[in-house]
Structure 1
Amino acid sequence: METVNERLRTTMLRVGITTDELARCVGVDVKTVGRWITSSRVPHRTHRWTAAKRLGVDESYLWPEVVERSLRRRQEASKSELVELYPDRASVARELWLRLLTDAREHVDVLVFSGTFYSQTQPRVARMLAKAAGRGVTVRLCFGDPTSPARGDT
């Protein structure tokens, strides 16, 4: 069952704007604004932004379900991109490092300040990276300056 959007109705009353005025401002039919109020329909993003700006409030106040939906989508997307998360590199098994190098099909991207652990874990890492590049894998290595103040721990 749909409910009335009391926040939108109350804010319009407080600001002193009619459904006709808001409809003109946003660029929609007055019936559309009426549906936003009476049936709690959520407007298109640009209409939400324009209406919220005209009313002097944040869109999340008028349509809190938009924020909740956005957070759910972000959480779902982030889960789909992460396979596993490790607290530090030492928690990653040596065999996994090897498999990541040997099974890569498209990219191997390494970003480190000091990559000595990589070669210590697998002394043949340079040959393995060259072999991956030889089979068409894009290999990108980026080494930062370990003494850089950007690290934050120096």
Structure 2
Amino acid sequence: MAGPTGVAVVPPLPPHGEGPAGDGAIQKALEAAWPADLSAGDEQQLLAAGRALVRADATGYGRARWPGVFPSAGRGLAPAFAAGRFRIQAAIARGDAGAGRAVVHLVWAGAERGGTYTDGRITDFYFTRTVSKGVPLWTPLPPT
């Protein structure tokens, strides 16, 4: 959304600890700050993968699906966050300006093993376009 000067107006963010009630405002702020630039199909594919990746990263569940991203999967590493106390607050997928890549930007909340619950955590996953059996896919890049 644009203000009177044509500059994007970012909606106010909810206070930390607002809970799920504030997630919509965070989503709107992300969308206003970073306009969409991918096809709907690419965005949906990237968002699904990004959500699964951040869940696997935080909770440990599903890491084996991406050995290139999580090379230590299955080696007995305890997850840092409780699976039952994890949620994605907002997510967007955008092109990475001329790099032939895309980025999924996620804001999430979770309870650490010690019970401390924190929201507003930010994670980015980068993807590159690949083709498998003639079908274009987005493949996550290993963390740098």
Asked whether the two chains share a fold, i.e. TM above 0.5, the reply is: no
**Larger-gyration structure (1/2):** 1
Instruction: Report 1 or 2 for greater relative contact order, CA contacts < 8 Å, sequence distance ≥ 6.
Output: 2
Normalising by structure 1, report the TM-score: 0.20
